Structure 1
Amino acid sequence: MRDLVRKAMDARLLDLLGLWRAARDKDAVMDAATLFADHADHLLVIQAEAAGNRYTHYGSAFARHFGADLTGCVIDVLPTDVLPPERRGMLEFEYTFARGADRPIWRSYTAQFDGDVTETWQRLVLPVGENRLAVGAYPVEGMGANGDDGATLLRLVIDRVPVVLDDDGGIADLALSLRAFCDTRLQMAELEVLATRDALTGVANPRHFHHLAGLELEHARRMGRSFSLLALDIDHFKRINDTWGHAAGDEALRAFVGSCVQALREYDILGRIGGEEFAVALPNTGLDGAKVIAERLRRLVEEMVVRPARGEIFDMTVSVGVASHSFGHSPNPEGGVMDVPELLRRADKALYRAKDSGRNRVMTAEG
């Protein structure tokens, strides 16, 4: 098995594994930055802390490919446009397994990098003591392995399931069986839906909305960009429940969400805050752009017709409050820290003015 690994593993990762094994054999204290200095550009060093996994070293190759230097960043709270949810789950599993098993984890992954170029990278996760991991990763050419069927098959395996290596550099085990891997992914997906989604409408629940909006707000703060929030409230919703029943009210909420999705962009974040109240986070969007989106949403809801399973058809309208902030250009006009609750408070004040002005309209936060 060791010879098969040597045929299938990228030569640079073989060197990294050899350095790790030599230090391990001598029971040496592993200073990853010094031990793996020749691989610094393609190396990550990760420290587990109470706040999550933190990059204490982030190789320049990753900064070039992903467009940002994440040294010092906590992986668990990175914005979704920097670390998509599917890759976040993969990394969390690998890092937790490697620390718990105290064994190297080897795998490959294929993704789109800068310029929408699809590349395959092999990565090696190495435990280096005191809740620290060193991760080396290099791009590889295709899936071939010099005509060796066994090595080719092994490369196909590591593209799907992480492989655990033993102290001699051979294969100790698979981190997951293929069936367990599939079952776990399905279970994780189901649990994520239950924990993060509103059961009736399928959009983000309040906790998850605040989490996602907070990530995007922090990203806007770091990049000096604009960020906006919409506060939405369906007009006279109690009248719908009282006239046509709660089942019709539920259908109205689902239809309302459908109209919102049509009005919003793919990366906008829609959440149900409570009852007939919703909120939308608009990343990288200033006040003028937010007003355009809010008006488009209001118009689509106004044109919507709800056809409940029982009862007469009816229409709906929505009132919208808009709040926006541009980091690096304007301070918070009311003082204090600009965060999601503060922006939502300002959007709510604008929403109340829209209600007081006759409903079915968009109003912006003062200041």
Structure 2
Amino acid sequence: MRDLVARVMDSRLAALLSQWRRDGTEAADPVARFAAHAEHLLMIEAEGGANRYAHYGRAFAECFGNDLTGQVIDLLPPDILPADRRFMLEFEYGFVRRTARPLWRSYTALFGQDLPQTWQRLVLPAGNGRLVVGAYPVEGTPSGDSAEALLRLVIDRVPVVLGDDGGIADMALSLGAFCDTSRHMAELEVLATRDPLTETSNRRHFEQLAGLELDHARRMGRSFALLALDIDHFKRINDTWGHAAGDAALKAFADSCRLGLREYDILGRVGGEEFAVALPNTGPDGARVIAERLRAAVAELVIRPAKGQMSGLTVSIGIAQLREADLTIATLLERADRALYRAKNAGRNRVVSEE
């Protein structure tokens, strides 16, 4: 097994591991100690139960587009560090701190110029709660050796613990822990893409899903429409009956919209009381029919606050249709918003198409 690890592990990581074993785990300045790897090195410090980048190698900053030196990993926005990768890092760092044993794995994703790359990474304890992480891009060409190919497959899916003899001592995840991890990652994915109150797509996820449909419509020469919706006088509900009543109104509104939409339509919350709907394969007439159906359904809603009288809801809706120059959802949404404001200025509770 030791020879197999030596054949698969990137030679630069092997040199880092060898130096770490030779010099011990304690050092006043781990980055200076491993200066030959500094550009491909991270140093992680524990900070209030979280992890902070005390050193962020230049190779990472150039590849990922951000210098995260000094940043706390838990506080990074999802567009910089997605939820699944954050959980993966936290698991690895926590494991190495608990066991004081080196952890080795690879990770394949879209890096740099959105090109698929495989990076091998090595997480090493450095004393005083600090961790040193070395990572290098490796060639993704599979080996003809079946044992090597299997090991590459394993480390791309499960981090492995390296033994003192240079071989693999253990897997960092048991089957039960792997299932728990997968379930947790699925929960994190929901949190990262869903508005927690209305359970609709949040703005980022809506724009991503709707953007895919827009691209498909452009390629296939199909129609595509977008609705911008805004609940009328929503602030009045919060001011009169409180935010709990406002939350109930938002939930009821979202539920009503879901019932009035087709299975493949995309509903998202893009602001406080602002929502958007993407309508694939839908021309101007069809978009107006759906918008009017939503408007009428919302007008039938009755909100019953815990204290106070019953209140009704209405919604104003603007419609924008895909044009040849539209490359992003943002441009369509901007035009739909302009139509929406015309609906507001015309008296609310109505549907207006863009000029």
TM-score (norm. length: structure 1):
0.60
1:48 paired to 2:36: no
Assess, with a 3 A threshold, how the Cα gap between structure 1 residues 47 and 248 changes in structure 2: closer, same or farther. Answer: closer
Shift of 1:67: 1.1
User: Secondary structure in 1 aligned to 2:16?
Assistant: helix
The residue that corresponds to 1:70 in the other structure is 68
Shift of 1:263: 8.2
Assess, with a 3 A threshold, how the Cα gap between structure 1 residues 126 and 185 changes in structure 2: closer, same or farther. Answer: same
**Match 1:60 to one of 58, 67, 85:** 58
1:135 paired to 2:133: yes
How does 1:1-80 map onto structure 2 within 5 Å?
1-24=1-24, 28-29=26-27, 31-50=29-48, 52-80=50-78
How does 1:264-343 map onto structure 2 within 5 Å?
270=270, 277=273, 303-306=291-294, 317-318=315-316
User: Secondary structure in 1 aligned to 2:173?
Assistant: coil
How does 1:127-166 map onto structure 2 within 5 Å?
127-145=125-143, 147-166=144-163
Taking the aligned partners of 2:76 and 2:288, their CA distance within structure 1 comes to: 33
Assess, with a 3 A threshold, how the Cα gap between structure 1 residues 319 and 50 changes in structure 2: closer, same or farther. Answer: farther
TM-score (norm. length: structure 2):
0.62
**Letter of the structure 2 residue corresponding to residue 177 of structure 1:** S
Contact 2:41–2:132 (Cα < 8 Å) also in 1: yes
The residue that corresponds to 2:231 in the other structure is 234
Shift of 1:256: 8.2
Assess, with a 3 A threshold, how the Cα gap between structure 1 residues 70 and 191 changes in structure 2: closer, same or farther. Answer: closer
Cα deviation code 1:155-182 (max 9, x no counterpart): 1100011111123332111111356424
User: Secondary structure in 1 aligned to 2:70?
Assistant: coil
User: Secondary structure in 2 aligned to 1:135?
Assistant: strand
Assess, with a 3 A threshold, how the Cα gap between structure 1 residues 250 and 152 changes in structure 2: closer, same or farther. Answer: closer
Contact 2:105–2:160 (Cα < 8 Å) also in 1: yes
Assess, with a 3 A threshold, how the Cα gap between structure 1 residues 78 and 187 changes in structure 2: closer, same or farther. Answer: closer
**Letter of the structure 1 residue corresponding to residue 293 of structure 2:** V
Unaligned runs of 5+ in 1: 210-230, 239-245, 281-298, 321-353, 362-367
**Match 2:256 to one of 252, 257, 261:** 252
User: Secondary structure in 2 aligned to 1:64?
Assistant: helix
Shift of 1:124: 0.4
Assess, with a 3 A threshold, how the Cα gap between structure 1 residues 65 and 82 changes in structure 2: closer, same or farther. Answer: same
**Letter of the structure 1 residue corresponding to residue 87 of structure 2:** G
User: Secondary structure in 1 aligned to 2:133?
Assistant: strand
Range moving further from structure 2, 11-20 or 42-51? 42-51
User: Secondary structure in 1 aligned to 2:152?
Assistant: helix
Assess, with a 3 A threshold, how the Cα gap between structure 1 residues 148 and 263 changes in structure 2: closer, same or farther. Answer: closer
User: Secondary structure in 2 aligned to 1:201?
Assistant: coil
Assess, with a 3 A threshold, how the Cα gap between structure 1 residues 300 and 69 changes in structure 2: closer, same or farther. Answer: farther
Assess, with a 3 A threshold, how the Cα gap between structure 1 residues 112 and 247 changes in structure 2: closer, same or farther. Answer: closer
**Match 2:106 to one of 99, 108, 113:** 108
Contact 1:122–1:137 (Cα < 8 Å) also in 2: yes
Taking the aligned partners of 2:159 and 2:127, their CA distance within structure 1 comes to: 21
Taking the aligned partners of 1:94 and 1:49, their CA distance within structure 2 comes to: 16
Taking the aligned partners of 1:300 and 1:98, their CA distance within structure 2 comes to: 58
Unaligned runs of 5+ in 2: 206-227, 238-249, 277-286, 302-312, 319-342, 351-355
How does 1:349-360 map onto structure 2 within 5 Å?
358-359=347-348
**Match 1:174 to one of 171, 176, 186:** 171
Cα deviation code 1:278-302 (max 9, x no counterpart): 589xxxxxxxxxxxxxxxxxx9898
Assess, with a 3 A threshold, how the Cα gap between structure 1 residues 72 and 250 changes in structure 2: closer, same or farther. Answer: closer
Cα deviation code 1:26-85 (max 9, x no counterpart): x64363112210001100111110172111111111111111211111111112221122
Cα deviation code 1:323-361 (max 9, x no counterpart): xxxxxxxxxxxxxxxxxxxxxxxxxxxxxxx98994459
Q: Percent identity?
A: 54
Contact 1:201–1:257 (Cα < 8 Å) also in 2: no
Shift of 1:232: 7.5
Shift of 1:129: 1.3
Taking the aligned partners of 1:301 and 1:51, their CA distance within structure 2 comes to: 53
Taking the aligned partners of 1:12 and 1:93, their CA distance within structure 2 comes to: 24
In angstroms, what is the RMSD of aligned CA positions?
Answer: 4.4
Contact 1:46–1:134 (Cα < 8 Å) also in 2: yes
Assess, with a 3 A threshold, how the Cα gap between structure 1 residues 187 and 57 changes in structure 2: closer, same or farther. Answer: closer
Shift of 1:204: 5.5
Assess, with a 3 A threshold, how the Cα gap between structure 1 residues 194 and 58 changes in structure 2: closer, same or farther. Answer: closer
The residue that corresponds to 2:97 in the other structure is 99
User: Secondary structure in 1 aligned to 2:256?
Assistant: helix
**Letter of the structure 1 residue corresponding to residue 23 of structure 2:** A
- Number of matched residues? 269
Shift of 1:254: 3.1
Cα deviation code 1:171-227 (max 9, x no counterpart): 11111135642442124423764797536534459xxx9xxxxxxxxxxxxxxxxxx
Q: Would you identify which runs of 4 or more consecutive aligned residues in structure 1 move more than 6 Å?
A: 256-259, 299-302, 354-357
Assess, with a 3 A threshold, how the Cα gap between structure 1 residues 319 and 90 changes in structure 2: closer, same or farther. Answer: same
Assess, with a 3 A threshold, how the Cα gap between structure 1 residues 302 and 110 changes in structure 2: closer, same or farther. Answer: same
**Letter of the structure 2 residue corresponding to residue 165 of structure 1:** L
**Letter of the structure 1 residue corresponding to residue 146 of structure 2:** D
Assess, with a 3 A threshold, how the Cα gap between structure 1 residues 28 and 87 changes in structure 2: closer, same or farther. Answer: closer
